[in-house]
């Protein structure tokens, strides 16, 4: 496939473009993932919180695609922080998906009010040593949360999965990640579709390349080095979002999109979310 692999800090290789299943109804998830695999996606991003891991596993089993050609990420739910609970939550996810390991396991939110993310991370290190996950990472961590993992544990997260799109570009976190060998995963990469994709800047750039606004934004992510997994329920858009390897944005176009920054979140502030 055209999708490049990105080598993470523990040597594992993740496809830079995947498919996300947040807010896909469990009843529709097996079909959506089956469609995505047919389009060519080999990286699926799910979470215990999404309630659709079993259906993701169903589609994987039905596909017949060899396990080592797939990259499966799931996330530890907020109710399962702690050294032991984080590990039993992973066992439960594996059982639901019918897998003996995932490729990437993430702490979904830091929950600073609970202050258990360091203990949770130590449970993740154990799960990785046991082979229940090939890589471990975090999501929605701010620099001061990452600072504590770096100071108090042995393992630098392979990724931090954060809200990132042209209206919320996260320059500070991206440079922190670069300094520490952490790869950036961008959630809601196309800003959930609404609003962002109507921006006139994107329409102009899209027209210049004969592409859509969504394809331009996804291409911007790839050129920044971000890992992305846009969500879609229709096969047509899944194909559109996958068809981003035959054009390149110019430096000027990249700069124009950089100018769209509004520091505007769609989701919660990680420091205020418990
Ligand atoms: P997204 O930016 O991927 O947007 C998806 C929405 O955009 C779709 O529901 C559809 O309405 C629209 N869309 C999709 N393709 C389009 C196209 N080609 N043209 C026009 N509109 C299109 O938003 P998302 O689903 O929130 O994020 C993607 C993935 O990121 C999720 O599925 C999930 O895996 C992950 N995520 C993680 C967190 C976290 O806290 N870690 C939070 C949110 C999302």
CATH number of this structure's domain 5-191+226-247: 3.20.20.100
> Can you give the pTM of this predicted structure?
0.99
pLDDT of the residue at 274: 87
What is the C-alpha R_g of the chain? Answer: 18
Determine if ligand 1 sits within 6 Å of the CB of residue 190. yes
Residue 1 has pLDDT above 80, yes or no: no
Distance of alpha carbon 114 from alpha carbon 194, whole angstroms: 33
ipTM: 0.99
Cα–ligand 1 centroid distance for 132 (angstroms): 27
Q: Which atom of ligand 1 is nearest to the CA of 191?
A: 2
Number of Cβ atoms within 10 Å of the Cβ of 28: 13
pLDDT tens-digit readout, 250-267 = 999 999 999 999 999 999
pLDDT tens-digit readout, 15-68 = 999 999 999 999 999 999 999 999 999 999 999 999 999 999 999 999 999 999
Determine if ligand 1 sits within 6 Å of the CB of residue 57. no
Residue 128 has pLDDT above 90, yes or no: yes
pLDDT tens-digit readout, 136-183 = 999 999 999 999 999 999 999 999 999 999 999 999 999 999 999 999
59 contacts 27 by C-beta, under 8 angstroms: no
Q: Which atom of ligand 1 is nearest to the CA of 75?
A: 41
108 is in an annotated binding site: yes
């Amino acid at each position: 496939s055209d999708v490049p692999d990105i080598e993470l800090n523990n040597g594992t290789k993740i496809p830079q473009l995947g498919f996300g299943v947040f807010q896909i109804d469990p009843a529709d998830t097996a079909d959506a993932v089956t469609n995505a695999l047919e389009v060519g996606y080999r990286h699926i991003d799910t979470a215990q919180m999404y309630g659709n891991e079993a259906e993701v596993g169903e589609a994987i089993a039905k596909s017949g695609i060899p396990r080592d050609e797939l990259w499966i990420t799931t996330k530890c739910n907020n109710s399962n922080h702690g050294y032991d609970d984080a590990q039993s939550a992973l066992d439960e996810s594996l059982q639901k998906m019918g897998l003996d390991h995932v490729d990437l396991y993430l702490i979904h939110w830091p929950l600073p009010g609970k202050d258990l993310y360091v203990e949770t991370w130590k449970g993740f290190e154990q799960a990785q040593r046991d082979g229940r996950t090939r890589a471990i990472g975090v999501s929605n961590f701010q620099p001061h949360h990452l600072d504590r993992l770096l100071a108090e544990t042995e393992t630098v997260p392979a990724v931090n999965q954060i809200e990132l799109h042209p209206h919320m570009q996260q320059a500070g976190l991206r440079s922190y990640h670069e300094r520490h060998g952490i790869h950036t995963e961008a959630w809601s990469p196309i800003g959930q579709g609404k609003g962002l994709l109507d921006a006139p800047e994107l329409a102009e750039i899209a027209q210049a390349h004969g592409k859509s606004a969504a394809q331009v934004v996804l291409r911007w992510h790839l050129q920044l080095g971000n890992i992305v997994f846009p969500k879609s329920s229709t096969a047509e858009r899944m194909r559109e979002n996958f068809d981003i390897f035959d054009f390149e944005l110019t430096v000027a176009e990249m700069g124009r999109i950089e100018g769209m920054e509004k520091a505007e979140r769609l989701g919660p502030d990680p420091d205020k979310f418990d």
